[in-house]
Amino acid sequence: MSETPAYTPPAVWTWDTESGGKFASINRPIAGSTHDKDLPVGKHPLQLHSLATPNGVKVTVMLEELLAAGHAAEYDAWLINIQEGDQFSSGFVDVNPNSKIPALFDKDTGVRVFESGAILLYLAEKYGAFLPTEITARTETLNWLFWLQGSAPYLGGGFGHFYAYAPEKFEYPINRFAMEAKRQLDVLDQRLEDCEYLGGDAYSIADMATAPWYGALVKGQVYEAAEFLDVASYEHVNRWADTVMARPAYLRGKKVNRAWGEPSEQMHERHEASDFEDKTA
């Protein structure tokens, strides 16, 4: 293992505002708002405030799937630019005290929902869709939804951070989190060898949650790590990713609240289905 500068933790940690990294300007060790600003409100019952990161894409895919299935789930999607600190506005903090995207407010029920997995579960239960009602199938689907919620931070905040975003490359954390990312891919690959979707035979919120993370990983859409992690070797994950990520609702959902990449793939806000035709960047 290569040598790295020795680091001795201090007795009491203090925040170094000069520490580097892509997200240094938006990270801080305290909660709450930094400025007063109300959130915009559209005409639809569901008000989504988000950005097209993997966690944001989960929810917009779910909403587009609900609409495609004929449910009355029209929504307004408002862009939260985390690089500019939108997540620290007083309005956003009222909906999500954790200042992370996505956040949903349902005008019909007066309910706020934060944490992407909780939003998927809320929508599935509200509309009776993409979550089985039979106890065994429902539990297996929720097993995989919560697996994703617990595992993705190791992929994004662990492997992705140290491999792609940290200001310096260090062997130990990259090796540590590469090992975990590959173990997780193997967990998925073994599961998907035996069934078409994560919950079993039916497409569900477990697939919607997982595809923007691990599907995007094996398709080379995040971290530029496909060769490094030998993602092509996970045959069943690739088969599943091809199926899920080709769904029309997935293709629409991944554009919503996207503010980077090809202009045709960006739709900063979404208020009507017709926006996909005439409101891309």
Listed by start position, the domains of the chain span 46-130+254-278, 135-246
Q: Could you tell me the pLDDT band of residue 2, with boundaries at 50, 70 and 90?
A: low
Average pLDDT over residues 245-273: 97
Asked if residue 32 has pLDDT above 60, the reply is yes
What's the whole-model pTM score? Answer: 0.95
Q: How far apart are CA 187 and CA 60, in angstroms?
A: 26
Tell me, rounded to whole angstroms, the distance of Cα 235 from its chain centroid: 23
| pLDDT value at residue 55 | 98
CA dihedral 276, 106, 152, 263 (to 10 degrees): 20
pLDDT tens per residue, range 175-210: 999 999 999 999 999 999 999 999 999 999 999 999
Q: From the CB of residue 197, how many other CB atoms can be counted at a distance below 10 Å?
A: 19
In the CATH scheme, what is the code of domain 46-130+254-278? 3.40.30.10
CB contact at 8 A, 67 and 81: no
| pLDDT value at residue 7 | 85
Following DSSP, what letter does each residue of 49-102 receive, concatenated? EE-SSHHHHHHHHHHHHHHHTT----EEEEE--GGGTGGGBHHHHHH-TT--S-
We find that the CATH architecture of domain 135-246 is Up-down Bundle (1.20)
Asked if residue 164 has pLDDT above 80, the reply is yes
| pLDDT value at residue 43 | 98
| pLDDT value at residue 28 | 87
CB contact at 8 A, 89 and 39: yes
Report whether the peptide linkage leading into residue 102 is cis, meaning its omega lies within 30 degrees of zero.
yes
Q: Which residue has the tokens 């919620």?
A: 149
Asked if residue 20 has pLDDT above 70, the reply is no
